[in-house]
Amino acid sequence: MSVPAIAITNLRFAWPGSPDLLAIDEFKLAAAESLFLAGASGSGKSTLLGLIAGITPANTGEISVLGEHMDPARAARRDAIRASQLGVIFQLFNLVPYLTPLENVLLPLRFSPERASRLRDAGLCPHQEAHRLLDVLGLDGDGLDRASTALSVGQQQRVAAARALLGRPGLVIADEPTSALDHDTRDAFLSLLTTECQASGAALLFVSHDRSLAARFDRSVELDVINKAGGSR
């Protein structure tokens, strides 16, 4: 059997000075599976994604991403795993404002030789692949050479998605990336995101308040159902 995209065991997490926020005994996302994670505002969805991405070290328990342990004691190792294996679309996109959209999309290749070599192995040129992703996500040539701050919020979301997908990461995690899109644009964005993940064999963990999107994923989970600390807040 292939290695799961995410494996969590006995995770406990509290922000400093706050009560337990997350207590997850067991959680798995299979390789190439797409999962919709719902939960009320403040229930800890973004916190959980930050732990999975290795941005926040876990207090106790174990988190593995594609078989690699996100060791709380090894920040540089977590950064390297994130750069190589994860595509992250944050709630606030985190585009580098003074770089153009194209430069933002190409950025992960600077931090991860693995991403660059996966593209090479697939016979893809980074620039062409960046243009293809921006194109399928509905951003044509216009404005791609301006500062990213000159884009609308919806356009910034699509640049963030193209950046996450470039270099075929094994896992894409997305934090409410459709909240600023209108209904039709949101539907198109979601189709493209799931299609691109399927095509490259990436697992997808997608967080949103909007439960009407759940049917588009292999599986959906309520955070409160897997989070034993949920009732204590």
Ligand X SMILES: Nc1ncnc2c1ncn2[C@@H]1O[C@H](COP(=O)(O)OP(=O)(O)OP(=O)(O)O)[C@@H](O)[C@H]1O
Chain residues that interact with ligand X, rule: CB under 6 A: 15, 21, 39, 41-47
One residue of 34, 46, 104, 155 binding Mg ion per CB under 5 A: 46
Q: What single-letter amino acid sits at 128? A: Q
Q: What 8-state DSSP symbol labels residue 227?
A: -
Minimum CB–partner distance for residue 78 and ligand X (Å): 16
Minimum CB–partner distance for residue 122 and ligand X (Å): 34
Cβ pair 100, 139 in contact under 8 A = no
Q: Which is nearer to ligand X, 42 or 138 (CB)?
A: 42
Q: Which is nearer to Mg ion, 155 or 208 (CB)?
A: 208
Distances (CA, A) of 40 to 25, 169, 224, 232: 20, 28, 9, 14
Cα 218 from Cα 202, distance rounded (Å): 13
CB-based closest residue to Mg ion? 46
Which of Mg ion, ligand X, none has residue 43 at its interface (CB below 5 to 8 Å by kind)? ligand X
Cα 131 from Cα 142, distance rounded (Å): 12
Q: Which residues, 6 or more positions from 45, have their beta carbon under 8 angstroms from its beta carbon?
A: 37, 39, 175, 207, 223
Minimum CB–partner distance for residue 46 and Mg ion (Å): 3
Q: Which residues, 6 or more positions from 163, have their beta carbon under 8 angstroms from its beta carbon?
A: 87, 95, 104, 105, 107, 108
Q: Which is nearer to ligand X, 39 or 177 (CB)?
A: 39
Minimum CB–partner distance for residue 11 and ligand X (Å): 14
Q: Does 85 bind Mg ion (CB under 5 A)?
A: no
Region near Mg ion per CB under 5 A, out of 43-51, 114-122, 129-137, 185-193: 43-51
Minimum CB–partner distance for residue 98 and Mg ion (Å): 26
Q: Which is nearer to ligand X, 82 or 118 (CB)?
A: 82
Distances (CA, A) of 195 to 91, 140, 159, 200, 226: 21, 19, 16, 9, 27
- Parallel, antiparallel, or unpaired: how do β-strands 219-222 and 34-38 relate? parallel
Cα 69 from Cα 200, distance rounded (Å): 23
Q: Which is nearer to ligand X, 44 or 101 (CB)?
A: 44
Which of ligand X, Mg ion, none has residue 178 at its interface (CB below 5 to 8 Å by kind)? none
Region near Mg ion per CB under 5 A, out of 24-32, 42-50, 111-119, 121-129: 42-50
Q: How many helices (H) and strands (E) does the chain have?
A: 8, 9
Q: Which is nearer to ligand X, 35 or 105 (CB)?
A: 35
Chain residues binding Mg ion by CB under 5 A are 45-46
